[in-house]
Amino acid sequence: MGTSDQLSGSIEHGFLPVDDGHRLYWEEFGSPDGIPALHLHGGPGGTLGSSGYRHRWDLSRTRLIGFEQRGCGRSSPSASDPNVPAEHFTTQKLIEDIEVLRKDRGIDHWILNGVSWGSTLALAYAQAHPERVRGIVLFAVTTTSREEVQWITETVGRIFPEAWERLSSFARAYVPEYGSDNLSLVEAYSLLLSCPDAQLRDDASLEWALWEDTHISLGAQEVIRDPRWSDPTFRRCMTRLTTHFWAHAGFSQPPLLELIDRVKHLPAIFIHGRNDVSSPASTAWNLHQRWPGSELIICEGDAHGGTSMVERWSQANTKMLDLSS
C-alpha cells in the first residue's frame, strides 16, 4: 500500500487480490471522513489515466475511490495477454470485484460516478446492489445494449463508409464466417483479437483503433489519433475488451433499461453531449424517461465529452454530495 508521497494527491493506493488470480489497482483521494464515491472509468479496457477525475469533486467533502478494472492499466494480469482467458472478463465479475473493493475499504454505501462504459457498469452494479448506492452520476451515457452496439459498429458506417469498408474488409479477409447471419462485425473482431496469431491480433487491434478514432472525430477536418494507442499494451487491452464486451452486449440480460425499477428510487443525474455519434443522446433520453426524478443534462455542441460536459459534471457531483449529506 502506498501513500501520498508516492502518488501525488492521493491518501493511499494499492493492489487488491480478487478471483481468477487478478489484482486490482486502486487509489483513494479526499477526506477519510467524506462521503464515499466510486469512479468507474470508460472502455471497456480503459484506465484511470492521470487521475484527472479527482478534479471533478470537492475533495474536502468526498472520500473518492477509483480503480482500474480487471485486466486494465496497472491491474494484473493484463487483458492484452491472450493467455488470460476471455471468461475472466464479464460484467458480473466486475460487479463482484467492486463489492470486494467496497468491503476492503470499509464502505457501507457510496455515490457511483460512471464515464461512458463506466456508466454501463455503474447501472449494472446499482441494479445488483441497490442498497449499496447513495446516488448515481453518469457522463456520456451508455447501456451497451445490442442496439447501441449495432449502432456504433455497423450503422455509423453510413456516416463513415470509407472507414467502415476498411474495417469490414479486414474482417472478411481473415474470418470467413463474417457476413453470415450468425456472426457480426464486432464478433469477428473479438475472435481476431483473441486468435493465436500474434501478428494478426496486432493488425486487427490497429484496424479497430483507427475505427474508434474515426467515429470519435466526427466534425473534425481529419481523424484525430488517440495518443494512448502508441502504447501497444494499452491498445491490445482496450481493443480486446471492447470487442469482447460489445460482442456480448455488455453481458446484460435482461437489458439494463428493463431493470430500472430496481434503482429508480435513487437520485440520478445524466450528462450527455448532443453531438455524441458514439453514443447517441437517445440512450440518455430513454434512461431518463424510465427513471422518474432523474435529471438529464444535454450539452449542445459537445460530443463524447467536452468542456461544457466537464463543467456540468463537476456541478452534478457537488449536487449529489448535497443530496447525500
pLDDT tens-digit series, residues 197-242: 999 999 999 999 999 998 887 767 787 888 999 999 999 999 999 9
Report the C-alpha gap between 80 and 165 in whole angstroms: 26
Please tell me the distance from the alpha carbon of residue 164 to that of residue 211, in angstroms, as a whole number. 7
* Model confidence pTM above 0.85: yes
Handedness of CA 19, 76, 133, 255 (dihedral sign): negative
Tell me, yes or no, if 8 is annotated catalytic: no
pLDDT given for residue 325 in this prediction: 85
Q: Domains in the chain, please, with CATH?
A: 2-145+252-324 (3.40.50.1820), 147-250 (no CATH)
Cα 145 from Cα 213, distance rounded (Å)? 21
Buried b (16+ CB within 10 A) or exposed e, 100-110: ebbeebeeebb
CA distance 266 to 138: 13
Q: By three-state DSSP, how is residue 271 classified? A: strand
For residue 174, pLDDT beyond 80:
yes
> Residue 50: pLDDT above 90?
yes
Distance CA 250, CA 271 (A): 21
Question: So what's the pLDDT on residue 2?
Answer: 59
Residue of 276, 288, 294, 302 marked catalytic: 276
* pLDDT tens digits, one per residue of 113-139: 999 999 999 999 999 999 999 999 999
302 is an active site residue? no
* Rounded CA separation 253/228 (Å): 32
Which pLDDT belongs to residue 201? Answer: 98
3-state secondary structure 170-224: HHHHHCCCCCCCCCCHHHHHHHHCCCCCHHHHHHHHHHHHHHHHHHHCCCCCCCC
Which set of grid coordinates corresponds to residue 313?
A: 459534471
Cell of 316: 452534478
> Which residue bears the cell 491498445?
235
Percent of the chain at pLDDT above 70? 96
Asked if residue 1 has pLDDT above 70, the reply is no
**Catalytic residue chosen out of the listed positions 244, 248, 288, 304:** 304
| Active-site hit among 76, 116, 145, 217 | 116
pLDDT-derived band at 8, boundaries 50, 70, 90: very low
The verdict on whether 226 is a catalytic residue reads no
Closest CA to 48 of 16, 82, 13: 13
